[in-house]
Each structure stands twice: as C-alpha cells, then as structure tokens.
Amino acid sequence: MDQTKFDQTKVDAAFLKLDAHKTRLQNTRMRDQFAGDPTRFGLFSVSCGDLLLDYSKNRIDTPVMTSLFDLAHAAGVESKRDAMWAGEHINFTEDRAVQHMALRYQGDSEVVVDGLDVMPDIRRVLAAMKIFVGDVRAGEITGHSGQAFTDIVNIGIGGSDLGPAMVTAALVPYTRADLRLHYVSNVDGAHMADTLKGLDPARTMFIIASKTFTTDETMTNAASAREWLVNSLGDDAVQDHFAALSTNIPACKAFGISEARIFGFWDWVGGRYSVWSAIGLPIALAIGFDNFEQFLAGAGEMDIHFRDTPLEKNLPTIMALLGVWYRNVWGFSTQAILPYDQRMNRFAAYLQQQDMESNGKSVTAENKSVSGATGPIIWGESGTNGQHAFYQLIHQGTDIIPCDFLLAVNPHEMMGQHHAKLAANCFAQSEALMLGKTLEQVLAELDIAGMDEDRAKQLAPHKVFSGNRPSNTLLYSKLDPKTLGKLIALYEHKVFVQGAIWNINSFDQWGVELGKQLAKDLLPNVLDKAGAATHDSSTEGLLAAFKTRQI
C-alpha cells in the first residue's frame, strides 16, 4: 500500500500540539466551559440528515479541534479514504480491496474492483435474495412436507452472526410474529440444543453462513442441525430446509444444499463488514426485503456523508478524532457504548468486533511496532439497565471512560411516560458525567436535609462526583431500518479513520488465527485419554484434570 500520504513527521508534530493542549486543559472543567460559552452546543454539534451528534460534552475547545483536524490531514485520512473508494488494495497484508460500501451503493455508476465493475454481481445476488425472501415470507417456499416455515435458524459466527443477530433484535417492530429468527454461533452444544428445543423440524429452515464453508464452529453446528433434521424428516429433506451463504459451492452441494439456495459474496467484503451482503439474508427474511433495502440505503447515506463532507463537519471523522484524543493523549483505554434502547442490547457486542478486531493491532504499515496505543476496549449495555450495574464506576471510579449515548426521539410503543423517563435518564447521565457534584454542593444538600455536621463531613466525600467526564450523544428520530444502517456505517467509518491515523491495517485479523490453530492441535488430546504430552505443563495439567473428571 502506498503510504506516501502518511507524514510521520507531521503526525508527530500534531501529537506534540495535542499534548500541549492537554496540559493547557488539564485543570479546565467542562462545567466552566459551558458556563462561559452559551453557544457551546451549537459550536460542537453536527448532523447527517436527522442524525445529530452532540460532542460538546468533551474535554475540548476550538484550538483542540483544530489540532485534531490537522492530525487527520497529516495522517492522510482523506487520501486513504479516497484510495478505499477507488478500490485500491488498502488491506495490504491480504492484498485485497475494501469495498463493502458497494454493497449499499444506491447510484448507477460503476464500482470497479481489480478492473471489474462489481455492481452487476451485487445486484444479481440482491435480486436472488429478494425473490427467495418474498417466496419464504409468502409461504411459497415450504419445508419438505409442504408446510410454511415458522422458524429460521442462522448458523454462523463472528461477522456471520453478530451483525444479523444485532440488527434483527434492534428491528423487532418490523418483524412478523409467525416467522421467528434464531441465531446459533457458539460451538458449545448448549447453544444449539437450547435453540432447537420446541422447534418443529417440518417448519424450520437453517441458513449456514460461512464464506469458505469450513469454519469449524459453524460446520460443527451445521452438522448437528442436519442430523436433527434428518432424524425427523430423512435425508431427502435437507435440500428443502437448508440454505447457505458461501462461496464454496461444491462443499455446500456436498452437504445437500441446492445451488439455487446458495448466496455468495466476495473476498473484498470482510466478515465484520458483511452484514450488507448475503450475510444479511436472515435480516431480510425477518423484516422483509423492502425494509432491508432501507437498511442498505441508510448506510449508503452515511457513506456519501463520510466521503463528501469536509472533515470539520464529518461525523465519523469527529468521533474518530475524539477517540484518538482520549486514547493517545489522555491515556483513556476503554469506551462505553450506551444505547438507550432495549432492542439495541447487542449493539455494543457488535461494535466490539467492529472496533477491536479492526484496530487491535501493534504493527504499522511499514512493519514497525506502533509507537502509541491503538484500539480501545469497547463495551457497554443498554440503558437504563447499565445504570444499575456499572455506572457507579463510570461516575466515581478511578478510570475515565468516554461514553457514547444513543437515543431515539420517537419510540415504537407509546406507553405512558416510559419513553419520557428513558430520555430523561439518558440526558441526565451525560449531564451528570459532565457536571459532577462538588464537596460544597454535597455539604449544602446534607445541611438542608438536617444531617449532623460531623456526620455530614464524614459522609460528604463519598457523595462527591468529580465530573468532567466526556461523552457524545447521538440523537435520531426513530430506530428504523434506515437509521440503524446509518448508525452502523457511522461506526465503520470511525474505525477506518482511527486506523488511518494509527497507520495500521484495519481490515485483517491475524490475531484470531493462533488460537484456532492450537485448538485443532489440542482436539486429539482432548478426545484421546492416552494422548501424548506435547504441550506446556499447565496445558497438560488441565488436560489431565479434564480427563479425570469426565463421566
């Protein structure tokens, strides 16, 4: 990959300026910044359509943001973005283009990858998906005995599971009660067994999601699903009850899956970016193809915003730069994702893979060790549940944890004051993190409450909130398919920008390979009670203990 646009000298100089800004702002409190500037919200908020990003509750001012944008320019963010759109092989360790944006492209122009326009193939797969989805939902595609499907089980792992499972849960209002989606990913037999309980084989469809059709966990689960079905309906039923999302047509056919029910995708689509491809088939089955197209359209709108909007008004870029500011300059190692929407309770888990698999790297494009920290630890939970779990640490713990709050203005269910209380809690949490509560405020409150002065002095330090803890808030009209697509694409591009600044490859994932390799080596030892000792003493001790406890 051509790294000439990445200027290490300018990047280093930009970070030195940011270090100076940190020193300057070290003792500046956001509550004072807001008090001194009533225009702060307008100054530090941007929109993409009805999606609003309020980033005013951050440890920033205009000079900080200017230096952050200078950093982005020095790192060549714009040129790297253009290279990605042009189909260059920015995934340089695997020598591949990165073109998941083509999967949701709504225009008529060519999208060229390795000299070929990929749009005809994309449209062909989408058209096949549309027909299949329509026929299944209409009951025209049935099981072996002629009964319509009531349950669909997606079997995949990683990007073949996290994205579809998260999106299906988030968009429940757009699903049908008579067509239930289930997701099996873990090779733990409990996951498959618990999913199959209560399902009718005659009315159950399985989708096997594996590009190579060799992923060990997925194929183990697929074999168990096949056995469960065959035991009830016979081997001839397999072709009527299985579909595949894969490029390995011979392996799919050998499994018993009809070629008409094999939906492919391409090597320029990474697993954690594949929800827009045929991997999204279970989503389309759950919410209908028209809604799936809206999901793609929302992501397409964010693509245009990211590609064409100046960095200073660019949502993904601003979020990425704030993340770099905290990760590299302030040394904050984690970030909490806090959607105030129960149906987005898998969003943080999805972003864990999106972010941590992409930017959990320690080698630069020049094969050197990175000089600073890379990807943060991503975690979170839906509000208000998290408030009664880990918010204590966010508010009063010793680590500063930047937070992203997400909230829809309009709920799908109008149930009294439920949504008003949800919104009030969301706004209150970001305000509390910013403002905090001083010792003087606590003492005054305890005095008003009539507490004895000595007791108040003992208790007060425990009720102080340091505040000055940063957060972003993303506000949108409603969590519909288009908005969800836009949100996911926002975080995709944020991760890209951070990888560009850290000068790493955000699109490979070699770190997952070693454990897989060792697991294959260990399996014979687990299965064979007389297995030879070929591992370290700890692993051998665990193997021995495991075997002696087997029933």
Q: Which residues contact 78 (CB under 8 A, 6 or more apart)?
A: 72, 311
Contact 369, 363 (CB under 8 A): yes
Write the DSSP assignment of 203-259 as a string of letters: GEEEEEE-SSS--HHHHHHHHHHHHHHHHHH-GGGHHHHEEEE-S-HHHHHHHT--G
Among residues 217, 293, 301, 357, the one annotated as catalytic is 357
Closest CA to 11 of 522, 502, 525: 502
Q: Which residues contact 318 (CB under 8 A, 6 or more apart)?
A: 46, 53, 55, 311
Q: Which residue(s) pair with 183 in the sheet?
A: 154
Among residues 140, 259, 368, 388, the one annotated as catalytic is 388
Helical ranges in 256-346 per DSSP H: 281-287, 289-308, 315-324
Q: Which residue(s) pair with 471 in the sheet?
A: 403
Q: Which residue has the tokens 């149930």?
A: 415
Closest CA to 81 of 98, 104, 105: 98
Concerning whether 381 is annotated as a catalytic residue, the answer is: no
Concerning whether 357 is annotated as a catalytic residue, the answer is: yes
Concerning whether 10 is annotated as a catalytic residue, the answer is: no
Contact 408, 476 (CB under 8 A): yes
**266 token code pair:** 């391409």
What CA–CA distance (Å, rounded) separates 168 from 155? 14
What CA–CA distance (Å, rounded) separates 93 from 77? 19
Residue 343, classed as helix, strand or coil, is helix
What CA–CA distance (Å, rounded) separates 251 from 223? 13
Q: Which residues contact 217 (CB under 8 A, 6 or more apart)?
A: 157, 185, 186, 187
Write the DSSP assignment of 460-472 as a string of letters: GGGG-B-----EE
Closest CA to 233 of 353, 367, 143: 143
Long-range contacts of 509-517 (CB under 8 A, 24+ apart): 509/270, 509/271, 509/357, 509/358, 510/93, 511/357, 511/360, 511/361, 512/357, 516/216
Pairing between β-strand 51-54 and β-strand 112-113 as defined by DSSP bridges: unpaired
What CA–CA distance (Å, rounded) separates 526 from 547? 8
Q: What is the DSSP letter of 149?
A: P
Write the DSSP assignment of 347-382 as a string of letters: HHHHHIIIIIIHH---B-TTS-B-SS--SPEEEE--
Among residues 313, 421, 457, 516, the one annotated as catalytic is 516
What CA–CA distance (Å, rounded) separates 536 from 483? 50
Q: How many other CB atoms are there within 10 angstroms of residue 275's CB atom? A: 29
209: part of which helix (H) or strand (E)? strand 204-209
- Residues annotated as part of the active site: 357, 388, 516
